[in-house]
Amino acid sequence: MIDKNAKRIDLSEWSLKGEGLFGSVYESDKYPGVILKLNKNTDREGPWEEFDKSRRIVALGVKTPLVCDFVTDGKHFGYTAQKIAGKKSFSRLVANNPKETDRFASLYAREALAFHATPCDTAAFPSMHKQMADTIAGSKLLSDTAKQNALAVLADIPDPHTCLHGDFTTGNLITDGKDSYWIDLGWFSYGHPLFDLTQFYFYQKYLPTLFLKKVIHLNHRQIKAFSVSLCKHYFRLPDPREWKQLEPLVRKVMYVRVLKMAVDKDSPLSALVLLPIAQKEGGFKPTSRLKLLGRIILRKPLI
């Protein structure tokens, strides 16, 4: 039985090596062979879930650095993990070597296909399909009709019992030049691979450049070029004109994916920003944000 109590660390023994939007990575001469990852906020559950899932995911055969201890500096929580010597993320590889984007996308696709083909322990990990259904059905921001329509779309999406990353970006696959490893597995689940793959589409189409650069160190042009090559290699469809066959299912996945993001935790601000995007991707006429704002003020269902 693993101890859920966080082991206290002295942060002065560690040197900052990298920062992301939500966390920081440290190394220490005193503890060679391991890295320290600490969340920037003071939430305990998020880092614990990522640590605990990473520990159990190894048993599935997924390549990920081994985690060591769940830790705290007294304010922030995180964990120590196996240090992969000479590692670089695929974000860094693409950013530093843009002419080799297609080669890196091919390598990424190979790892992604193996990952998405890995059977998941459905008793130990959550279903993406069920998480989506529960969030949509339980939302106070959606009318009963909107919920029924969304759940009907979700029911049309196949629900295989194979692994999903949940935060599927170029920054979350690292390589030492020989082996590759998936990292940041706090949202790991199982379900249809398009729930992972459409993250690239959402990022390149809707996220501002400053956010992209902060999260995955790539601009829109770079992430679009990578996405095109990834689709070509992942789906084994070298001609983009052949991708038309994927569009109906992609639209369904994007609709429920963004809708879940919009109403998660019933945040009016998220709904105001994301609901029109979900409607557009689902092929529906987007509700104006002014109308949504009025319904928020009147505390009425937004759609």
Question: What pLDDT, on the 0 to 100 scale, is given for residue 270?
Answer: 94
Question: What pLDDT, on the 0 to 100 scale, is given for residue 3?
Answer: 55
What does the buried/exposed string (b/e) look like for 73-91 if buried means 16 or more CB atoms within 10 Å of the residue's CB? beebbbbbbebbeebebbb
Give every residue of the chain whose pLDDT is below 50, as ranges. 1
Structure token digits, residue 61: 């055969």
Residue 25: closest CA among 6, 47, 5, 45:
47
Question: What pLDDT, on the 0 to 100 scale, is given for residue 155?
Answer: 96
Question: What pLDDT, on the 0 to 100 scale, is given for residue 214?
Answer: 84
Q: How far apart are CA 300 and CA 294, in angstroms?
A: 9
Question: What pLDDT, on the 0 to 100 scale, is given for residue 151?
Answer: 97
Residues 120, 190: contact at Cβ < 8 Å? yes
Yes or no: domain 7-82 corresponds to CATH 3.30.200.20? yes
- Domain 88-297, CATH among 3.30.70, 3.40.50, 3.90.1200, 2.60.40: 3.90.1200
Q: Structure pTM?
A: 0.90
What is the 8-class DSSP label of residue 127?
A: B
Question: What pLDDT, on the 0 to 100 scale, is given for residue 239?
Answer: 83
Distances 281 to 5, 70, 252 between C-alpha atoms, Å: 43, 40, 8
Question: What pLDDT, on the 0 to 100 scale, is given for residue 91?
Answer: 96
Tell me the residue type at 148.
Q
What residue ranges do the domains of the chain occupy?
7-82, 88-297
**Beta strands 23-27 and 34-39, pairing class:** antiparallel
Give the tens place of pLDDT for each residue, 267-278.
999 999 999 999
Question: What pLDDT, on the 0 to 100 scale, is given for residue 238?
Answer: 82
